[in-house]
Structure 1
Amino acid sequence: MSEHSISASRVIDAPADAIFEVLTLPSRHQQIDGSGTVVSGDDQRIQQVGQVFVMNMNGEHMGGDYVMENTVSGYDENKLLAWRPKPQGAELEGWEWIWELEPQGPGQTLVTETYSWEHATPEAKKAVSFPLFEDRALEQSLERLAAAVSEK
């Protein structure tokens, strides 16, 4: 863990394109979410930087149900997917989720998930105690991603 981010990595027995296919479909994020906060997501596939996708969320830190608007901040097909979340109706922003995929040979990919609050606004840092999630939540996301990719 750095001062402004946490990361977890895992080799998944699947090619990068199969993993990227799961990651770029927000409707599958509830299936892979290790934090337990994602309820559902858009059915539209993520395809480019600047695209906005919506996730329905639930967490005590936000008082229950809320909607998160996510702006894609990084996109390199089968290599990188990143987005910056912003709760609808709140001036809390500046953190980022980053997924990096690195082929490790036939049918294996090293996947690294990073949760960064390096650019979180002062308002966000005041409202949210970063890191909001522990390393274990990222490890669980990677476990769940491996399971989701294997079941297609």
Structure 2
Amino acid sequence: MNDDVSVELKADQVSATAVVAAGPAEVFDYLRRPANHARISGDHSVQRAMTGPELLGLGDNFGMSMRIALPYRVTSRVVEFEQDRLIAWCHFFGHRWRWELEEVEPGRTRVRETFDLGTARLPAALRLIGLPAGHRGNVAKSVRNVAEHFRSTTSNESKPAD
């Protein structure tokens, strides 16, 4: 498996991409479960899921316990959804977190996470605090965390039972 994560910065977006050792359906199932978001979070700001469905779908709301210096809560809504291919959510401030999946060969999926402030209600305020560039490391780490999850799952499945 290739550990390389590429990062792309545009005026209103920052994205990270890597190839993961799992099929799109497996990766999508992992991403659409809010209970997994604390393990995925590149900056560890997501603490735990608090409200919402176990599996996210279009229009679903879900609440998360967060921490950046101080604890807070945020409710997000799924605004884009294509089974096994795309899921995105945003909260009150409107900036979007998008995950895109593309099968590159059986059992391997290109995973791309994008932080997009192009849909934000206050994009100028977000730019003042250094976004989207400030999320370069976060999206890269989030994608690495997803890749590591499937690397660990694959290596655990290949180990002989005791």
Matched residue of 2:88: which SS?
A: strand
The residue aligned with 1:37 is 45
- When normalised by structure 2's length, the TM-score is 0.80
Q: Is structure 2 residue 61 aligned with structure 1 residue 52?
A: yes
Query: Does the Cα contact within 8 Å between 2:53 and 2:60 map onto a contact in 1?
Result: no
Match of 1:83 in 2: 89
Among residues 2, 25, 41, which one is paired with 2:10 in the alignment?
Answer: 2
Kept after mapping to 2: 8 A contact 1:18/1:149: no
TM-score by length of 1: 0.85
Question: CA, structure 1 residues 75+3, in 2 after alignment: closer, same or farther (shift >3 Å)?
Answer: same
CA-based RMSD of the aligned residues comes to 1.8
Letter of the aligned partner of 1:27 in structure 2? A
2:118 matched to 1:118?
yes
CA distance in 2, matches of 1:26, 1:70: 11
Any stretches of 5+ residues in structure 2 without a counterpart?
Answer: 1-8, 154-162
Structure 1 residues 26 and 147, CA, compared in 2 at 3 Å: closer, same or farther? same
State the distance in 2 between where 1:55 and 1:49 align: 17
Secondary structure of 1:98 counterpart: strand
> 1:50 offset after TM fit, Å?
1.0
Deviation of 1:151 after TM superposition, in Å, equals: 4.0
- Decide whether the 8 Å contact of 2:14 with 2:133 is kept in 1: no
* Residue aligning to 2:160: none
Check the 8 A contact 1:95/1:119 in 2, yes or no.
yes
Asked whether the equivalents of residues 16 and 78 of structure 1 are also in contact (C-alpha less than 8 Å), the reply is yes
Given that 2:24 and 2:85 are in contact with CA atoms closer than 8 Å, whether structure 1 keeps it comes out as yes
Once the two structures are TM-superposed, the CA of residue 132 in structure 1 deviates from its matched residue by 7.2
C-alpha offsets along residues 54-107 of structure 1, whole Å, 9 cap, x if unaligned? 1110003xxx11111010001111100000123xxxxxx120000000001110
Match of 1:99 in 2: 99
Whole-angstrom CA distance in 2 between matches of 1:145 and 1:29: 10
Q: How many pairs were matched up?
A: 142
**Residue type of the alignment partner of 1:148:** H
Aligned AA for 1:126?
Answer: A
Structure 1 position 141 matched with structure 2 position 142 = yes
Q: Distance in 2 between matches of 1:107 and 1:15?
A: 4
The secondary structure found in structure 2 opposite 1:115 is strand
Gaps of 5+ in 1: 87-92
Percent of pairs with identical residues: 25
Residue 72 (structure 2) pairs with residue 66 (structure 1): yes
Q: Conserved in 2, the CA contact under 8 Å of 1:8 and 1:114?
A: yes
